């Protein structure tokens, strides 16, 4: 029972980490009104800088967690994130607010590296797929919850209640985890080598790098589709598509995805998910302009990406037995995952301008085929 509670508490920490993005996304208009001189790009940076920190320092964070210990790392990250969220309740200048977001980026990064690393070690082998799939849902669940609670909390024109609630959430989870998490193993810390050499070592490994090298294809595709596909749908179906795609992704991941993980390896399931995504993309191209069929194909694509999402995280412990290697793999997932979210949407937007829905289909097919091929190559290298 203690292990179950600890896994759920770590997942709750992941919800808090996702809210570090989500709270700013939902408060975008309020910050745009507060900082008109910054313009949309400047306010957008307030949202995205957390991800930029992950893009730059993701693998380094995995190395640091392996060095200082996951318990110390996540408790410090939660405390730091709580302090930054509380500070953001004040009427800060743009420069100071931006600085708090940079600091929050390091907090976010530590949480998303430690979370899957510790869950993989706590969950018994027969439930590891379920536990890792649950972890993989933290972003989608957070945004679904914020879509319900954020608008009324922000309706008064102040971010105070939402941001203070976030600070209390992180502080409460830190307190809970301080009681639940086991101590870091004594003598487990090791000296880090050169940063460049460590990065080369991680990405040269067909076990440590494999989850991340497939995950970048997922994040580039899923985030871009979630952003740009709903506006292309017929008017009445836009909101249904925007709400339905993340919900279907979570539901399929936690049901069919978990069931299939008991029958296939995580890598095989990632490849199967990408294959299903390719079929759904072709189906979307074939039924383009037929509203109900377009919706069905879009939801099928989201469901396929849900399979990839959960199986990608499940592949971390399946491919890496040691805690340190799992931390490195999680850091690489954070780094390449942020690379995908950063580059996928503008690339898809350009392809849609150039080729319409054919450009969208080509984008999806390319990334799905790349995900299958990358994992095939990494599997061959492991063999």
Does residue 14 sit in the same domain as residue 117? yes
Does residue 314 sit in the same domain as residue 282? yes
Position 6 pLDDT exceeds 60: yes
What is the per-residue pLDDT for 66?
72
Position 196 pLDDT exceeds 80: no
Count the neighbouring beta carbons within 10 Å of the beta carbon of residue 218. Answer: 28
Position 278 pLDDT exceeds 70: yes
What is the per-residue pLDDT for 106?
92
Last residue of a domain, one of 192, 216, 250: 192
pLDDT tens per residue, range 150-171:
989 999 889 999 999 999 999 9
Position 59 pLDDT exceeds 80: no
What is the per-residue pLDDT for 236?
81
What is the per-residue pLDDT for 194?
63
Does residue 234 sit in the same domain as residue 168? no
**3-state SS string for 331-367:** HHHHHHHHHHHHHHHHHHHHHHHHHHHHHHHHHHHHH
Express as a percent the part of the chain with pLDDT over 90: 50
Residue 75 sits in which domain range? 2-192
Count the neighbouring beta carbons within 10 Å of the beta carbon of residue 377. Answer: 13
Does residue 165 sit in the same domain as residue 233? no
Does residue 155 sit in the same domain as residue 250? no
Does residue 105 sit in the same domain as residue 220? no
What is the per-residue pLDDT for 192?
53
Phi-psi region of 288 (alpha: psi -120 to 50; beta: other; left: phi over 0): beta
278 lies in some domain: yes
What is the per-residue pLDDT for 132?
87
Mean pLDDT taken over the chain: 89
Task: Please say whether the dihedral angle defined by the alpha carbons of residues 172, 137, 113 and 109, taken in this order, is positive or negative.
Answer: negative
Does residue 250 sit in the same domain as residue 102? no
Position 279 pLDDT exceeds 90: yes
Express as a percent the part of the chain with pLDDT over 70: 97
CA angle 336, 338, 339 (to 5 degrees): 60
pLDDT tens per residue, range 83-104:
999 999 999 999 999 999 999 9
Dist CA 94 CA 369 (whole Å): 42
What is the per-residue pLDDT for 195?
66
pLDDT tens per residue, range 204-219:
999 999 999 999 999 8
Does residue 187 sit in the same domain as residue 287? no
How confident is the model over 319-346, as a mean pLDDT?
85
Dist CA 245 CA 69 (whole Å): 37
Q: How many domains would you assign to the chain?
A: 2
Phi-psi region of 187 (alpha: psi -120 to 50; beta: other; left: phi over 0): left
pLDDT tens per residue, range 264-277:
999 999 999 999 99
């Amino acid at each position: 029972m203690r292990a179950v509670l600890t896994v759920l508490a770590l997942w709750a920490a992941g919800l808090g980490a996702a809210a570090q993005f989500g709270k700013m996304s939902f408060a975008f208009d309020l910050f745009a009104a507060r900082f008109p001189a910054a313009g949309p790009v400047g306010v957008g940076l307030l949202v995205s800088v957390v991800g930029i920190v992950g893009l730059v320092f993701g693998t380094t964070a995995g190395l640091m967690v392996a060095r200082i210990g996951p318990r110390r790392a996540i408790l410090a990250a939660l405390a730091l994130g709580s302090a930054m969220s509380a500070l953001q309740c004040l009427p800060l200048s743009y420069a100071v607010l931006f600085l708090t977001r940079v600091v929050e980026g390091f907090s976010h990064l530590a949480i998303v590296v430690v979370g899957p690393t510790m869950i993989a070690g706590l969950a018994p082998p027969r439930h590891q797929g379920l536990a890792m799939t649950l972890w993989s849902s933290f972003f989608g669940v957070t945004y679904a919850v914020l879509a319900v609670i954020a608008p009324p909390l922000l309706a008064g024109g102040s971010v105070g209640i939402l941001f203070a609630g976030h600070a209390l959430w992180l502080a409460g989870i830190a307190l809970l985890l301080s009681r639940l998490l086991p101590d870091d193993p004594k003598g487990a810390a090791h000296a880090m080598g050169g940063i460049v050499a460590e990065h080369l070592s991680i990405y040269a490994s067909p076990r440590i790098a494999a989850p991340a090298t497939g995950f970048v294809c997922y994040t580039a595709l899923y985030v871009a589709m979630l952003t740009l596909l709903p506006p292309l749908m017929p008017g009445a179906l836009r909101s249904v598509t925007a709400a339905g795609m993340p919900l279907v992704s979570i539901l399929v991941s936690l049901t069919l995805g978990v069931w299939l993980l008991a029958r296939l390896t995580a890598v095989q399931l990632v490849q199967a998910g990408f294959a299903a995504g390719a079929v759904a993309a072709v189906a979307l191209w074939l039924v383009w302009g037929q509203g109900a069929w377009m919706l069905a194909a879009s939801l099928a694509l989201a469901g396929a990406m849900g399979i990839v999402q959960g199986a990608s995280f499940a592949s971390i412990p399946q491919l890496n037995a040691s805690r340190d290697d799992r931390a490195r793999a999680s850091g690489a997932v954070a780094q390449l995952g942020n690379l995908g979210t950063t580059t996928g949407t503008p690339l898809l937007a350009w392809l849609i301008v150039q080729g319409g829905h054919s450009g969208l289909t080509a984008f999806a097919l390319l990334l799905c085929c790349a995900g299958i091929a990358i994992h095939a190559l990494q599997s061959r290298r492991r063999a």
